[in-house]
Structure 1
């Protein structure tokens, strides 16, 4: 990997780490489905403005349908799941569970994309599952009765991310490729269209929501324009440059930023059980995505 690739990974981690803070602020006030829809909507608007300013092409080269479906898998469903989790879990919890994305990617790759795992990577997957169990059973949260539901929601989201990485390679990269901004723009169109009916239903049947909250709107706009529009351009560019599995290593860097933002802004703290589970998950991710002895020897 080049220096610019590492730089983009760190920047992307800092941005996506902040997204858990913004969702933690917005989801309890606006609701999970509304927050998820507004996130992809502002992401769509932000990407459209960026592409207009840069005079980028809106030609999908026959890959529009693929980009729309990727939007549902890589944005619509995961964002809804994380907004659900944000109602119950501190930002740090969601972020460390987000770090299981490479583990999910490894499992999905073996099951559906003929990927092979070494013994080390299998040990990493098992260790990651043990770490998740410790977080679920020993970690403390502000809503203890909903911890399991929040964890499951996060794991559904990471499963979607893992699947989307391989589908992006198969549907986009291996078919002539497509500009990262165009892929990200198409994905936000797909996510917006997918969540729109649920948003309309929610607004119609949840009139008690207080929409006049400037700080919440600021969080929604930030998570849409910065953590979605800008971040997805970086992410799809990374997939094209370094591949899906390496791109998923960004999730290894997100938790420290999410914990930092949560501590500075919301005063969130972490339990000893969470710390133990988080360390196990991080070690597991390193075992899955880190270079093996053969690659190090080759270098």
Structure 2
């Protein structure tokens, strides 16, 4: 259990820090270039570790369609959308919005996973989370000149969160049953995402990131090594240990970290941002409690002696 709690904390810390790194890099390179470098420097150590541990097998190619789906949507597109949105938003607000995948995971779980149903508490949690997203996006501010939030940035960030949230369902349904080592799955996924981004991204001028040492270090170490490579390993570990909804709930730390970093960087963090964050955190807590109730109510005397996935 200690390892699980540690994984939650580290994953929340890494994800919450990602938004300031993207913000630092945005003035120098494009969102596509940020995503490419992020995947590149996340993939290299994973590939070396996978090779040294001997987890990659030629026969795993038969799952290439699943790896490709995760690479295209949960990695390439999701990372691009987050980078695009963060470039247009304060990193604290982007971080709060980026902490919402669990809400969309819960909705999709009820639709696509037979063993994960939504009860009344979970429905209320989804509603609370949507209220938090609306509050921090504050679309009504577009009608006034009082510090409007970029709705385009909000849309990009939410799109990334939705796709990332749905990826938990895809992994749970199609990849978890094949019992491959998490390191093997993430290495295939990252390698294919790197190829996709390389093919679709205009890399001209990427070297401009070297003009700023802080931005370069943020992309290489923050986004690549920690926010991508290490985070994927933690993500698959939590998914196997806790299931789809609970694993995605690891992002409950993300809004807190992102807001604190944004505040430290000089961004305005007022009551509205704090209330929105609390609504989203409350939403995730309600979703998790609701999920636990559903699991407990579905346990039969026979199931109680078995491991429930």
1:197 paired residue number: 199
Distance in 2, matches of 1:210 and 1:281, equals 34
* Closer, same or farther: CA 278–56 of 1 in aligned 2, 3 Å: same
SS of the counterpart of 1:172? helix
Identify unmatched segments of 5+ residues in structure 1.
none
SS of the counterpart of 2:55? coil
Distance in 2, matches of 1:234 and 1:155, equals 22
TM-score by length of 2: 0.85
2:152 corresponds to 1:149: yes
Conserved 8 A contact 1:184-1:233: yes
Aligned residues: 291
Distance in 2, matches of 1:256 and 1:81, equals 21
1:116 paired residue number: 117
SS of the counterpart of 2:280? helix
Alpha-carbon offset, residue 80 of structure 1: 0.4
Alignment of 1:166-181 (within 5 A): 166-175=169-178, 177-181=179-183
Conserved 8 A contact 2:78-2:164: yes
1:28 paired residue number: 27
Conserved 8 A contact 1:70-1:190: no
1:228-282 CA distances to partner (integer Å, 9 max, x unpaired)? 1111111112112211111111111112222233333x23331222222222121
1:247 paired residue number: 247
Q: 2:56 aligns with which of 45, 58, 61?
A: 58
Alpha-carbon offset, residue 164 of structure 1: 0.7
1:225 paired residue number: 225
Alpha-carbon offset, residue 215 of structure 1: 2.2
Alpha-carbon offset, residue 29 of structure 1: 2.0
Distance in 1, matches of 2:121 and 2:2, equals 27
Further displaced range: 284-293 or 207-216: 207-216
Distance in 1, matches of 2:254 and 2:41, equals 22
Distance in 1, matches of 2:206 and 2:262, equals 29
Q: 1:182 aligns with which of 181, 184, 201?
A: 184
Further displaced range: 132-141 or 16-25: 132-141
1:279 paired residue number: 278
Alpha-carbon offset, residue 86 of structure 1: 1.4
Conserved 8 A contact 2:209-2:215: no
SS of the counterpart of 1:268? coil
Distance in 1, matches of 2:257 and 2:227, equals 13
Distance in 2, matches of 1:207 and 1:33, equals 10
Identify unmatched segments of 5+ residues in structure 2.
305-309
Conserved 8 A contact 2:119-2:294: no
1:157-213 CA distances to partner (integer Å, 9 max, x unpaired)? 1111121101111221112x111111111111121122112323x52xx69956533
TM-score by length of 1: 0.87
Conserved 8 A contact 1:139-1:274: no
Distance in 1, matches of 2:254 and 2:10, equals 10
Distance in 2, matches of 1:185 and 1:140, equals 43
Alpha-carbon offset, residue 146 of structure 1: 5.4
Alpha-carbon offset, residue 144 of structure 1: 5.0
